[in-house]
């Protein structure tokens, strides 16, 4: 966390609140205010602070005055620079809390922040990201000394340079994604430790569905604003839309008229479900227009006025329907939202300018706060999941994120729906085996004619057979029809082919010989055996793998400093097994392994995912320069040390190489 050295102030608390750049800026404002009136009192601050961002924009003068009066008895007290800073800091925190607070408040955003060839960013969106971060991470033990962040500065990018903030933000979006014991959290990190944190962040971001193609650890270290904001916006979007599915909010079944439409609803991306929910509520208000986007269709604020009247009529102001100015109407809408208890992340100006990211954030927050759906859930068979359905869902998730990690032309939200035209599958095949696709015979979306989709999928099947996939009695039409079993079988073989090709290309001593599952198994057992450990795996479905010890031994073998054995449990109980599994995944990602499995895949010994995990570790190891690989001697000195099971020690050791590898 560079840049947090106090200047001009002696109070340690104030030194931790502001950067040097911010202190200089505030000192200039303070001196200017004092020159204007000869001296500066507490009573002068409510009006004079109107020129300061956040404090001036988010709070009225009356609100600033009331807040300061609650803090200090005598408004005639003279203000020195340190008192000015204390008042400013408390007002800033109050303003940030007003903009977004509460357990369910959210902000966020469809993709990257607005960019051009000059990589400009939207200051409104940056302010919203900062408000979100200040709200959700303010109690974090490590980060709270650096929060709240001032949105008018570049402090966000300074704080993000060590990787801790982004890792913590991922865990807010999808709790449990990163084992925080794997994050390097010393006050001063060396370059290797920072690089490890960013590698862990990027691989974890991919694993929750972010697209981070062409973004590297150096981009974060250098604080490249448009790229940092792009990743942050995607992470927050995932958190924002987390409840927009039937598993989390079964009441959404109200949006369809009969059970035949439920499966279609389940396959929609969350943004589409949010739009459908909004139109469902607007229909109750007899609002005639259909909202199809979060930009031009809501710029006049009329849809918002009707939506909030339906959801919270007790807070409605009839003047919202008579004013002619869209900006004035937007202000009334936001006042209505305030009365509902919805903390805002956008301004009236953002509404009328049609900011798609911030309008989506606003609607999603309204949904989370008051969705207006019945508390009685219909009994729908689709909502009942068997263990087999859970396994299918988990595999679909892994394959979906793996495909999206290639940065294809279309982001897919459901492999059973979004691959049916064959185009994304052809793009993925081209990435896995360059030159294999005959693009002259491929049909680019949008594809209206069904036979064109079949043509694409026929080529997908043909290429699969060319790569020696097992595709007996499989035709292109099976993919077009969304046959789940066959699509999953094809995707597994495609992922496995990618794994083996990556290893073959690295393992030059194979002399062109194909790498097999048995080769990967033998390599892993040899590496672990050379450390002196007695653990081994007989196959990728070996039930003993569920405790995680073998994979921890393997990670320690390929990078002796990777595993902090004081954090490892014996893996006897289900809870201990899960703790080890979560740690394994985070350590592997921290090294540079791009993997898409869940802790349950390890504890339940999912054969496919055991292979991908082992192969990814092998790929990372073979990708390291020979001189940086651990010797057999050093390996022997770092075997399992399970005498201690404490999980309270933080692993701050840095790996000396954190190379990011291909997605396998």
Convert the pLDDT of each residue in 522-544 to its tens digit.
Answer: 999 999 999 999 999 999 999 99
**Residue 511 pLDDT grade (very low, low, confident, very high; cuts 50, 70, 90):** low
Q: Say which range, 61-65, 136-140, 488-492, has the weakest mean pLDDT.
A: 61-65
Q: Which residues contact 248 (CB under 8 A, 6 or more apart)?
A: 242
- Tell whether the torsion through CA atoms of 556, 562, 566 and 567 is positive or negative: negative
Which band of pLDDT confidence, cut at 50, 70 and 90, is reported for residue 218?
A: confident
Select, from the ranges 345-349, 364-368, 610-614, the one with the highest average predicted confidence (pLDDT): 610-614
Q: How confident is the model at residue 86 (pLDDT cuts 50, 70, 90)?
A: confident
**Alpha carbons 17 and 96: distance in angstroms, whole number:** 15
- Is residue 374 over pLDDT 50? yes
Of 636 and 137, more confident: 137
Q: Give the range with max mean pLDDT: 100-109, 222-231, 614-623.
A: 614-623
- Position 161 scores a pLDDT of 93
Alpha helices in 59-190 (DSSP H): 61-71, 81-99, 123-136, 155-159, 164-173
Model confidence over 336-360: pLDDT tens digits? 999 998 877 789 999 999 999 999 9
Task: For residues 45-61, give the mean pLDDT.
Answer: 79
- Is residue 89 within 8 Å of 44, Cβ to Cβ? no
pLDDT reading at 420 higher than 60 = yes
- pLDDT at position 160, please? 94
**Confidence bin at 512 (pLDDT 50/70/90):** low
So what's the pLDDT on residue 114?
31
Mean pLDDT for 225-241 is: 92
pLDDT of residue 257: 78
- List CB contacts of 513: < 8 A, sequence separation 6 or more: 504
What is the rounded distance in angstroms from the CA atom of residue 277 to the CA atom of residue 284? 11
Q: Averaged over 392-421, what is the pLDDT?
A: 92
pLDDT band at 12 (very low <50, low <70, confident <90, very high): low
The model's pTM is 0.76
Q: Report which of residues 558 and 44 the model is more confident about.
A: 558
């Amino acid at each position: 966390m560079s840049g947090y050295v106090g200047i001009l102030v002696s109070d340690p608390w104030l030194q931790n609140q502001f950067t040097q750049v911010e202190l200089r800026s505030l000192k200039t404002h303070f001196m200017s205010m004092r020159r204007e009136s000869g001296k500066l009192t507490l009573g002068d601050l409510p009006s004079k602070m109107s020129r300061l961002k956040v404090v001036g924009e988010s709070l009225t003068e009356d609100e600033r005055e009331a807040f300061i009066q609650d803090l200090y008895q005598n408004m005639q007290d003279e203000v020195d620079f340190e008192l000015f800073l204390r008042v400013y800091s408390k007002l800033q925190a109050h303003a940030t809390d007003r903009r977004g607070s509460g357990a369910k408040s959210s902000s966020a955003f469809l993709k990257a922040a607005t960019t051009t060839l000059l990589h400009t960013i939207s200051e409104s969106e940056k302010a919203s990201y900062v408000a979100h971060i200040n709200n959700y991470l303010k109690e974090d033990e490590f980060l709270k000394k650096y929060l709240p962040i001032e949105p008018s500065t570049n402090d966000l990018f300074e704080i993000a340079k060590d990787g801790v903030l982004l890792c913590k933000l991922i865990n807010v979006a999808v709790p449990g994604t990163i084992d925080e014991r794997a994050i390097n959290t010393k006050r001063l990190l060396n370059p290797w430790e920072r690089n490890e944190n960013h590698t862990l962040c990027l691989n974890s971001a991919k694993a929750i569905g972010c697209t981070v193609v062409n973004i590297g650890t150096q981009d974060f270290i250098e604080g490249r604003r448009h790229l940092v904001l792009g990743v942050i916006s995607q992470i927050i979007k995932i958190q924002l839309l987390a409840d927009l599915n039937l598993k989390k909010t079964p009441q959404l079944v109200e949006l369809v008229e009969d059970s035949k439409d439920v499966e279609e609803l389940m396959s929609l991306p969350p943004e589409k479900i949010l739009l459908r929910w909004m139109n469902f509520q607007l229909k109750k208000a007899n609002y005639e227009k259909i909202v199809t986007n979060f930009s031009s269709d809501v710029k006049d604020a009329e849809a918002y006025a009707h939506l909030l009247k339906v959801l919270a009529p007790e807070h409605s102001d009839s003047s919202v329907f008579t004013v002619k100015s869209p900006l004035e109407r937007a202000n009334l809408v936001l006042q209505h939202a305030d009365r509902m208890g919805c903390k805002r992340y956008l301004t009236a100006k953002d509404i009328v300018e049609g900011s798609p990211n911030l309008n989506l954030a606003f609607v999603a927050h309204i949904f989370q706060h008051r969705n207006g759906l019945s508390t009685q859930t219909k009994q729908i068979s689709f909502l009942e999941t068997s263990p087999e359905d859970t396994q299918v869902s988990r595999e679909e998730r892994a394959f979906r994120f793996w495909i999206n990690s290639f940065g294809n032309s279309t982001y897919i939200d459901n492999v059973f729906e979004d691959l049916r035209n064959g185009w994304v599958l052809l793009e993925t095949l081209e990435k896995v085996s360059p030159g294999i696709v005959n693009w002259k015979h491929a049909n680019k979306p949008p594809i209206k004619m069904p036979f064109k989709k079949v043509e694409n999928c026929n080529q997908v099947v043909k290429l699969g057979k060319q790569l020696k996939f097992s595709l007996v009695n499989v035709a292109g039409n099976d993919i077009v029809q969304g046959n789940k079993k066959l699509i999953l079988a094809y995707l597994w073989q495609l992922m496995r082919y990618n794994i083996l090709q990556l290893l073959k290309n690295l393992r030059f001593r194979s002399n062109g010989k194909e790498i097999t599952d048995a080769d990967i198994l033998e390599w892993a057992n040899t590496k672990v055996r050379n450390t002196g450990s007695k653990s081994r795996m007989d196959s990728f479905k070996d039930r003993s793998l569920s405790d995680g010890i073998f994979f921890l031994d393997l990670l320690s073998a390929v990078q002796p400093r990777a595993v902090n054995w004081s954090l490892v449990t014996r893996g006897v109980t289900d809870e201990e097994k899960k703790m080890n599994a979560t740690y394994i995944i985070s350590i592997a990602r921290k090294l540079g392994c791009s993997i898409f499995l869940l802790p349950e895949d390890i504890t339940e010994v999912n054969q496919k995912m055991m292979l991908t995990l082992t192969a990814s570790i092998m790929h990372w190891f073979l990708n390291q320069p020979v001189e940086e690989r651990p010797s057999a001697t050093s390996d022997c000195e770092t075997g399992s040390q399970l005498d201690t099971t404490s999980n309270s020690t933080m692993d701050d050791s840095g790996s000396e190489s954190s190379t990011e590898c291909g997605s396998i």
